[in-house]
Structure 1
Amino acid sequence: MKDKQKGALLGLAWGDILGCPVEGWKKHEIELVYGTYRELPEDYLFDKIPDNKKARLRPLGFHSDDTQQALALIYHCLTFEGWNRQAWGQILVQGFIEKAWRGIGRNFVAAVHRLRKGGLLKESGSSSSGIGAAMRVGPLGAIFYRPEQKKQLLQATIESTLMTHADQLAAVFAAVVSYTVSLFIQGFSVQEVWEKLHSFTKEAEKQTKSLAEQGWKVDHENNQLISNMLEQAMEWIDKPIEVVRNQISECARPYLASGFTRAHPNQGFVLLGGLHALLMASRSDLSPHQILISIINEGYDTDTVAAIAGTILGARYGIDWIPIDRFYDRERLLKYADALVDQQIPETMSTFLSIEAKLTQMEKDFQQQLKSGNI
């Protein structure tokens, strides 16, 4: 069980790190450089990577916003022995002020700006049903994994999501991710997990509706789309991967927001990338590494979809499959993984922000060197 708790973070971090080198690339662009992307490269193939793809590269082994926001959530919940929405808002703002956050999306930025200007916590979230919250919440399932902690798990996951992504689909799916992690840590099988997910999802949908009635900004507040989609997905969870991916695309297509050009299973929409990660992490015909590689070779939001799958796989299988030696900041990530077990705060918030700000600056310097041709 301890290894599964640790795996909720280390699997997330590995999916993030493994997917970063091709983040935002399309499938054919990955094939042109790597053929089949099989592992984290030892070195970048700069002679093959187009100039327009070099601008977003990170030093190999660096974690992105997916992992750093998960670390912030772990610190927060351990510090307050549960959930404190006011304190979470302060962490988000302070991280922005100290330039710690990196790779963050416009919805996250807009939400933090509203908080920084004194906006209400209940109204800070952006109208987004993306996976920018689902990527970070898996370790909450390792903190609140006991059955009697389900209420705390729901509150921490849903409220932390709504403060950046004020959408029922985003909040409910994030809750599905953290709850799935908690169930695998408890030792349930895939079949047992999916049998429990449907009733839990209904509960999460009611919770977000209740919060909307309490004054929270919640788009789609009276919606049962996630529970309905998961019920459908149970029918094709064990089908061949391409069949599953086609089903995901077909089911999500009617609900795509303006600006989505295609229903690709690795797009950053909960019914696409989110559901894809959940279904892939539930497969038993591939190893955890093969699952992440299969996801990443599809392109698009490679690091975030792999991070969501990775946190579930870590809770399901533990940590033996994760090459922790490839993590740039491995000693610190290991301390945070240990903290999920021993509940000891791994560092102060000032240290967290200072280290993350340093890593963010290192990433910027690396990208600047790439632009100037010094690498």
Structure 2
Amino acid sequence: MTTTRERARGALLGLAVGDALGAPAENLKPSEIRARWGRVTGYVTENPAGTDDTEYAIFSGLLLARHGSALTQAHVEAAWHEWIADRAEGPFRGAGFSERGTLENLRRGLAAPISAQHRHAWSDGLAMRAAPFGVFAAGRPAEAARLVAIDGSVSHDGEGIYGGQAVAAGVAAAMAGASTIAVVASALAVVPEDSWTARSLRRAVAVAHRGERAVRSAVVIGGYPWTDLAPEAVALAFGAYAAADGDFPEAVLTAVNMGRDADTTAAVAGALAGATQGASAIPTAWSAAIGPARGSCLPSMAGHHVLDVAELLVPGEGGKWGEGLVVPESVSELLRRDTPAPFALAADTDTEAPV
């Protein structure tokens, strides 16, 4: 039997492994990935490491360990000041567009949720740090979604929040031993049915049995220059997870080889699959490369290891996570809605269909 602790370690270590595997492929097309490495089947750099995705996940995990279910918007805002905004930043300069906009607003004296009013509130910056909430609220997807929305209120809005909620709820369900399809259904249950996030997620999972080319073509926004759209990235991650039926190596490598925001999509797929299968499912060669955070983006996170954060977020083995886990609607009905019409796949996997 896979224990809660094993799943927690799998979720956060899986996030860091996926992040490190996907980082070199970030912002690349599948054709560019093939030209450089063929098919990515492992680390392609000598010193693999997590990026801002891992460091922000550690940040949120430590914040959650400090406050638990009593977490408030004021706690989150104070932590952003204490650990990021009021300190010198690392070479990443605060990470992606949503983080940059948030930090600029906080430094101008704007408070949450006004601090999230910038041009990239729809990014996947919350989704990348959402897994700790699912670990903490194992078996309680609605609670995971509630807590991650509080965290996200400082930096995100709308679809950016929904993306984080889908990931947190999915991890929470996986932590309780839910099946792959029940994990997807739990994610869909916590976001608005007619949201862009829900539509993209349903489309990805509906074609997942056809593989990564079909998933990518179903949800990638053709012609848009940025790859950090939360509805797209979250759908690619869940699509990779569903295509692999929760298998860790396959889920993560599927996400990596689809390109786009590959560090984030592989991190999310890794968190979902790691929570599903536990840390033992992660190849030793991959997990051994993950050390304490280097602080490349957030110097305040240097020295913290994702496995230490996992230990902080789980109860003792006598805990009773998973009681009362309910998937509120039939899975088949959730996936039938807004299923894309049949489409022809081009010979090149770079084909991107508008949503």
TM-score, structure 2 as length reference: 0.74
Instruction: Return 5+ residue gaps in structure 1 as ranges.
Output: 44-59, 206-222, 254-258, 344-375
For 1:157, which of 143, 148, 154 is the aligned residue?
Answer: 148
The aligned counterpart of 2:242 is 282
Alignment of 1:44-193 (within 5 A): 60-82=47-69, 83-94=71-82, 95-100=84-89, 103=92, 104-125=95-116, 126-128=118-120, 129-147=122-140, 150-151=142-143, 153-166=144-157, 168-193=158-183
Q: Which amino acid aligns with 1:90?
A: A
Is the Cα contact below 8 Å between 1:268 and 1:274 reproduced in 2? no
Distance in 1 between the 2:290 and 2:187 partners?
32
1:342 CA displacement: 4.3
The answer to whether structure 1 residue 271 and structure 2 residue 271 are counterparts is no
Distance in 2 between the 1:93 and 1:246 partners?
40
Alpha carbons of 1:187 and 1:101: their partners in 2 closer, same or farther (altered >3 Å)?
farther
Alpha carbons of 1:299 and 1:224: their partners in 2 closer, same or farther (altered >3 Å)?
closer
Q: Which amino acid aligns with 1:179?
A: A
1:8 CA displacement: 1.7
1:242 CA displacement: 1.8
Alpha carbons of 1:277 and 1:164: their partners in 2 closer, same or farther (altered >3 Å)?
same
Distance in 2 between the 1:105 and 1:243 partners?
28
For 1:247, which of 203, 210, 218 is the aligned residue?
Answer: 218
1:4 CA displacement: 1.0
1:238-271, CA deviations, whole angstroms, 9 ceiling, x for partnerless residues?
A: 233322222223xx56xxxxx8149xxxx32123
Is the Cα contact below 8 Å between 2:201 and 2:238 reproduced in 1? no
For 1:324, which of 287, 300, 303 is the aligned residue?
Answer: 287
1:161 CA displacement: 1.8
Alignment of 1:27-46 (within 5 A): 27-41=30-44, 43=46
1:100 CA displacement: 4.5
Q: Which amino acid aligns with 2:287?
A: I
1:11 CA displacement: 0.7
The answer to whether structure 1 residue 304 and structure 2 residue 297 are counterparts is no
Instruction: Classify the secondary structure of the residue corresponding to 1:124.
Output: helix
Instruction: Classify the secondary structure of the residue corresponding to 1:320.
Output: helix
Is the Cα contact below 8 Å between 1:108 and 1:165 reproduced in 2? no
1:146 CA displacement: 3.7
Is the Cα contact below 8 Å between 2:11 and 2:135 reproduced in 1? yes
The aligned counterpart of 2:301 is none
Instruction: Classify the secondary structure of the residue corresponding to 2:105.
Output: helix
May I ask how many residue pairs the two structures share in their alignment? Answer: 294
Instruction: Classify the secondary structure of the residue corresponding to 2:102.
Output: helix
Alpha carbons of 1:29 and 1:247: their partners in 2 closer, same or farther (altered >3 Å)?
closer
Q: Which amino acid aligns with 2:110?
A: G
Instruction: Classify the secondary structure of the residue corresponding to 2:22.
Output: helix
Q: Which amino acid aligns with 1:326?
A: A
1:25-59, CA deviations, whole angstroms, 9 ceiling, x for partnerless residues?
A: 3434333332322211463xxxxxxxxxxxxxxxx
Alpha carbons of 1:100 and 1:342: their partners in 2 closer, same or farther (altered >3 Å)?
farther
Instruction: Classify the secondary structure of the residue corresponding to 1:135.
Output: helix
The answer to whether structure 1 residue 199 and structure 2 residue 189 are counterparts is yes
Root mean square deviation of aligned Cα: 2.6
The aligned counterpart of 1:236 is 207
Q: Which amino acid aligns with 1:112?
A: L
Instruction: Return 5+ residue gaps in structure 2 as ranges.
Output: 294-303, 317-355
User: Over alpha carbons, which structure has the higher Rg?
Assistant: 1
Distance in 1 between the 2:148 and 2:249 partners?
27
Alpha carbons of 1:185 and 1:324: their partners in 2 closer, same or farther (altered >3 Å)?
same
Alpha carbons of 1:311 and 1:119: their partners in 2 closer, same or farther (altered >3 Å)?
same
Alpha carbons of 1:187 and 1:40: their partners in 2 closer, same or farther (altered >3 Å)?
same
1:105 CA displacement: 1.3
Is the Cα contact below 8 Å between 1:6 and 1:341 reproduced in 2? no
For 1:337, which of 310, 319, 337 is the aligned residue?
Answer: 310
1:341 CA displacement: 2.0
Distance in 1 between the 2:313 and 2:13 partners?
11
Alpha carbons of 1:150 and 1:335: their partners in 2 closer, same or farther (altered >3 Å)?
same
1:312 CA displacement: 0.9
Distance in 1 between the 2:34 and 2:262 partners?
14
1:255-307, CA deviations, whole angstroms, 9 ceiling, x for partnerless residues?
A: xxxx8149xxxx32123222010111123468422332232223332211111
